[in-house]
Structure 1
Amino acid sequence: MQTSELEDTQKKGARSRPERMQALATLPVFFKLAGKRAVVAGGNEPALWKAELLAATGAHVEVYAETFVHGFEALASTPPNGSVRLNRRRWTPADLADAAIAVGASEDDDDAAAFAAAARAAGAPVNVVDRPAFCDFQFGAIVNRSPLVLSISTDGAAPVLAQAIRSLVEALLPDGLKRWVEVAKVWRTKGGQLGDTPAAKRRFWNRFVDLAMREAQREPRDADFDELARSPGKAPPSVAIVKVGDDADTLTLRALRVLRMADIIFLDAAVPPAVLDFARREAQRVSVDPGASGTTVERIVDAARNGERVVRLIAVSSGAAEASAGALSRALRDAGLETPEITFAPSPAKDAT
């Protein structure tokens, strides 16, 4: 096979596989800083906020500046966690030795560049406030339901938008949800009581999520664990047939729910890749060949009977969504499977045209 033919074959094969992840502007990661040394250079308001944020993680924060704005003394006296020590002098490269993270808050480009270079030389990831050219990482808009922590980033393009999204998410996540995350740490240690297989454990945690979201305002109880552990371990075989519009915005809440729980997803090539962002990363994706409907039904039935949570995504843009969904639903019912059908929400923009 010629090189060009091989490349064409590889490209066709890549297109036939469902896309797992779209491009990311940045990698969302979370640093464990408890007990580690963090360095902040600057005594202004931005430095104060960053010092408080780092201290909240349990870090030992060393702040270097010749002068400090109001608030630093109180922070050093009563940090939210960890510790904060004020050093009334300019930072030096030696101060960055053994730092797990470094944050600068300088209004001078030369000083910002020097701080970033010194931090990297010491092996510390560095952020210089409002100086993206000198940053190894960025701080997002934070939703704090610790130990549940979310961070929202626009890659520096629109921080105000990130803050607005944070407000929306905060309204959706009750403050009491943190108690359920805390108890999840304890319950996770119970091992075999959660189920004897990975699938059974996953069903336990799916039931846990349902209860936590429904009862977020109250304290979790030991009786909750007992009830969750006693719940039926294996649901009857079923396949959710989800019709998908032109983009991910048309997904309904019910569709999002079944996608989140799916173990295996069968989908048309016309399904927008962004839809799969709502599925679990470990969920298997299977592209459906329109010319092999019988084989597809057999695979779906086998997966459902093996205890997998199966979702079949059908793109309405394919032109035969109703017929395809109807034929599949009848075939699955004939095989003795439950087949809830979930439609999509029409796009407001398209309705307006």
Structure 2
Amino acid sequence: MSRPEHRSIDTRAAGLAPLAVLPVFVRLRGERAVVLGGSAGAAWKARLLASAGARVDVIATEFCDEMRAAPGAVPDGRVALHARAWSEDDVHDARIVIVALDDAADARRAVGVARKCGAMVNAVDRSELCDVQFGAIVNRSPLVIGISTDGAAPVLAQTLRSRIEALIPTGLARWLAAAKSWRAEVAERLPAMPARRAFWLRLADRAFAAHAGEPSRRDLDDLLAGGAGPGGITVVDAGPGDPELLTLAAVRALRSADVVLHDAGVSSEVLAFARREARMLPIGAADRRVAPRLDAVGDLMIRFARESKRVVRLTCGPSGVPGWTTEGIAAARTAGVVITIVPGVAAVSPARSDCREKFVFSSVSTRMADMRAEAARVS
């Protein structure tokens, strides 16, 4: 019998660049994991494995304080410490083995034994011996994001993790949990794949919306019916106009907006945070063609919100909420439109901003207080 021919595939030509490592997510609930070593690095990995549902046996002649505290920090007794030297029998039925041994020869022997038993192996500080790596993790379970630099710069991966975490809405995990519980009903009521895909796209938009609250049965029914969900208005203060000084709430609002009405002086760097699909409408002296009167601006935003669009009014300047928003907030609430105010960061020194204005020093707390007072006055 002739052997099958294995052809080399050019992954770049196929549209897939070569991968340094393959990101694979492993289910460990109920599985046995073994940690050989009692160091602080081993303790972190023992707790991580236990948080994924594994039963973890830690085997070492000595344990650091972090490792001694691990059994009490994890529920259901999923971490057990065994104060002795390791043996080959210890890794016999393990799904994954963490090797955190100081002696290099001992570590290589442990890796070899674990592989013979069919276990995945991670060797602490010995990347050349690893079958699997532990990257930086964003944990909003059931959303889990793994980040790897293939050992090149772990600190860079941690920095990237922090930036990603900042962009994820705090309530997203609840929406994902709801989505998991809704899957069976969605499949039953929307048997056609295109309809189901459209449903999940609508759910994703709603989960990331600035006004997204706790997911409910009403949300499910509305999404199944094809509703885009309630619109809303978010007034975002871009502060002095420096994109580096935008608040996280401001970035989230821009990334989820369908329509952005912005001061003519807002920089292109700030506007770049909005989605490419968002409709951008400049407001102000630089472009009188779009809503030149302040009352017309409010009417326009309310109309968009009533069309289930997420509207952002992006301002730039030193004075907090501009005068038109007093009437705008009142009109929106009278119309039953949800309105949110996102304060900005004040300039910290006299400087020329992207709005072409000179700013004087004012504290962040003063700016926020002024904006909240403006909103409260019309509520």
* Pick aligned residue for 1:70 from 49, 54, 65: 65
What's the secondary structure of 1:71's corresponding residue?
helix
- Aligned equivalent of 2:116: 121
Question: Which amino acid in structure 1 is aligned with residue 86 of structure 2?
Answer: W
What is the identity, as a one-letter code, of the residue corresponding to 2:41?
P
- Give the Å deviation of 1:32: 0.3
Change (3 A) 1:122 1:254: same
Residue pairs, 1:89-128, within 5 angstroms: 89-128=84-123
Residue-by-residue CA offset, 1:233-279 (whole Å, 9 max, x unaligned): 9xxxxxxxxxxxxxxxxx9863599xxxxxxxxxxxxxxxxxxxxxx
Q: Which residue of 1 aligns with 2:233?
A: none
Aligned to 1:136: 131
Tell whether the 8 Å contact from 2:39 to 2:67 is kept in structure 1 after alignment.
Answer: no
The CA distance in 2 between the partners of 1:208 and 1:82, in whole Å, is: 38
Contact residue 206 and residue 212 of structure 2 kept, 8 A: no
Report the CA distance shift for 1:192/1:150 in structure 2 as closer, same or farther (over 3 A).
closer
Query: Equivalents in 1 of 2:189, 2:138: separation in Å?
Result: 29
Measured in 1, the distance between the counterparts of 2:142 and 2:273 equals: 28
Matches within 5 A, 1:244-255: 254-255=275-276
Q: How much does 1:90 deviate?
A: 1.4
The aligned runs of 1:138-287 (5 Å cut-off) are: 138-192=133-187, 194-214=189-209, 218-231=213-226, 254-255=275-276
Report the structure, 1 or 2, having the larger helix content: 1
4+ residue segments displaced more than 6 Å: none
Q: Deviations over 1:292-343 (max 9, x none)?
A: xxxxxxxxxxxxxxxxxxxxxxxxxxxxxxxxxxxxxxxxxxxxxxxxxxxx
**Kept in 1: contact 2:99–2:110 (CA 8 A):** yes
Q: Count matched residues.
A: 229
Aligned-partner residue type, residue 228 of structure 1: L
Per-residue deviation, 1:72 = 2.6
CA offset digits 1:113-151 (Å, max 9, x no partner): 011101101100100011011100110100000110000
The residue identity in structure 2 corresponding to 1:69 is: C
Q: Equivalents in 1 of 2:211, 2:142: separation in Å?
A: 14
Q: Is the 8 A contact 2:122 2:129 kept in 1?
A: yes
**Amino acid aligned to 2:218:** A
Q: 1:158 to 1:194 in 2, by over 3 A?
A: farther
The answer on 1:51 being equivalent to 2:46 is yes
Q: Which amino acid aligns with 1:163?
A: Q
SS of residue paired to 2:214: coil
Output the amino acid matched with 2:21: T
Structure 2 counterpart of 1:45, one-letter code: A
Task: State the Cα deviation string for residues 161-202 of structure 1 (Å, max 9, x = none).
Answer: 101100100000123211111111111111445523101100
Following the alignment from structure 1 to structure 2, what is the Cα–Cα distance between the partners of residues 64 and 114?
Answer: 15
CA offsets 1:37-57 (integer angstroms, 9 cap, x no match): 000001110011000000000
DSSP 3-state at the match of 2:275? helix
| Shift of residue 215, structure 1, vs aligned partner | 5.2
Task: Tell me the SS of whatever aligns to 1:106.
Answer: coil
Query: Which of the two has higher C-alpha Rg?
Result: 2
Higher relative CO (Cα under 8 Å, sequence separation at least 6) belongs to: 1
Q: In the alignment, which of 71, 74, 79 is matched to residue 79 of structure 1?
A: 74
SS in 2 for 1:164: helix
Q: In structure 1, what residue type is equivalent to 2:275? A: R
Which segments of 5 or more consecutive residues in structure 1 lack a partner in the other structure? 1-9, 234-250, 258-353
| C-alpha contact 1:177 1:212 (8 A) present in aligned 2 | yes
Which residue does the alignment assign to 1:283?
none
Q: Distance in 2 between matches of 1:154 and 1:191?
A: 38
Structure 2 residue runs without a partner (length 5+):
1-6, 229-271, 279-379
**1:174, 1:217 within 8 Å by CA — same for their partners in 2?**
no
In 2 relative to 1, CA 146–62 (structure 1 residues): closer, same or farther, beyond 3 Å? same
- Closer, same or farther: CA 252–199 of 1 in aligned 2, 3 Å: farther
| Whole-angstrom CA distance in 2 between matches of 1:76 and 1:232 | 48
The residue that corresponds to 1:301 in the other structure is none
**Secondary structure of 1:86's aligned partner:** strand
Show CA shifts across 1:42-82 (max 9, x none).
11100110000000001000000011111333321341567
CA distance in 2, matches of 1:195, 1:51: 43
AA of the residue aligned to 2:180: K
The TM-score normalised by the length of structure 2 is 0.56
Residue identity opposite 1:152 in structure 2: I
- The answer (yes or no) to whether the contact 1:176–1:218 under 8 Å persists in 2 is yes
